C-alpha cells in the first residue's frame, strides 16, 4: 500500500508528508519553511521553524532517508532561497497552501483505503519517540508544546514498550534491594 502511493506521488508531496512524519511538524509549520530555514550540513542536519505563538525552535532532521529526499528535492527544483514548498499554479511559485496539500493527502488516503489526517502524522511521530525511549520533555520541545500535558495527549505508549520499561525497572530494583542473591522478603 505505502509503496504504491509513493510511486505515484510527485517528489514534493513525498517530501512534505515524510517531513511531517519524521519531524512531528504541524502541516502549517512545514508549509511556511523557507530554504534558508534548512541546514543540511552533513551529520548535523536540522531546520528552524516558527511555531505557535511565533516561537522559533530547531528540529534535528536525523532520518537519513528524509535528508536524502530533501537534498534530491532541492537539486531537482533548483531552489536556492524562498519557500521550500511552492505552488506552481500560473507560474507564481508562491508558498504551497494548506488546502492544496490537504486535498492531495486525502486523495492518496482514499486511494489506499486509509482514513488518516495530516495531523495524525504528528501524533505518530510522538508515539514513535515515546516507544523509542525518548523522554517526554524532549518530545515536548521537539513538537513545540508549551505544556507537557499537551504532549501527553499525543504520545501513546505501546503495551510492549510499557512492559519492557517495567521489566527493566524491576531488574534494577531487584539488583539494588538484593542481599546475598535474595530479595528482601525471602524469595530469590
Active site (catalytic) residues: 26, 52, 119, 122, 145, 154
> C-alpha grid cell for residue 82?
524562498
Alpha carbon 149 to chain centroid distance?
19
Where are the alpha helices (H) located in 61-177, listed in sequence order? 64-77, 98-112, 118-131, 136-143, 148-154, 159-177
Cβ atoms within 10 A of the Cβ of 129, count? 20
Distance of alpha carbon 93 from alpha carbon 116, whole angstroms: 28
10, three cell numbers:
510527485
| Spatial CA neighbour of 5 closest among 107, 94, 95, 84 | 107
Given a contact cutoff of 8 angstroms between Cβ atoms, the answer to whether 136 and 151 are in contact is yes
Radius of gyration of the chain from its Cα atoms, rounded to whole angstroms: 21
Amino acid at each position: 500500500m505505502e509503496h504504491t502511493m509513493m510511486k505515484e506521488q510527485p517528489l514534493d508531496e513525498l517530501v512534505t508528508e515524510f517531513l511531517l512524519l519524521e519531524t512531528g511538524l504541524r502541516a502549517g509549520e512545514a508549509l511556511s519553511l523557507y530554504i534558508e530555514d534548512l541546514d543540511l550540513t552533513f551529520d548535523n542536519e536540522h531546520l528552524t521553524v516558527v511555531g505557535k505563538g511565533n516561537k522559533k525552535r530547531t528540529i534535528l532532521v536525523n532520518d537519513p532517508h528524509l535528508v536524502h529526499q530533501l537534498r534530491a528535492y532541492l537539486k531537482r527544483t533548483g531552489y536556492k532561497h524562498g519557500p521550500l514548498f511552492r505552488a506552481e499554479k500560473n507560474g507564481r511559485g508562491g508558498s504551497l497552501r494548506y488546502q492544496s496539500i490537504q486535498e492531495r493527502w486525502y486523495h492518496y488516503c482514499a486511494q489506499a483505503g486509509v482514513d488518516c489526517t495530516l495531523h495524525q502524522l504528528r501524533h505518530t511521530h510522538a508515539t514513535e519517540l515515546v516507544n523509542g525511549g525518548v523522554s517526554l520533555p524532549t518530545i515536548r520541545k521537539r513538537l513545540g508544546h508549551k505544556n507537557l500535558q499537551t504532549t501527553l495527549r499525543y504520545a501513546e505508549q505501546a503495551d510492549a514498550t510499557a512492559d519492557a520499561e517495567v521489566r527493566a525497572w524491576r531488574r534494577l530494583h531487584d539488583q539494588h534491594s538484593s542481599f546475598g542473591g535474595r530479595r528482601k522478603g525471602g524469595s530469590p
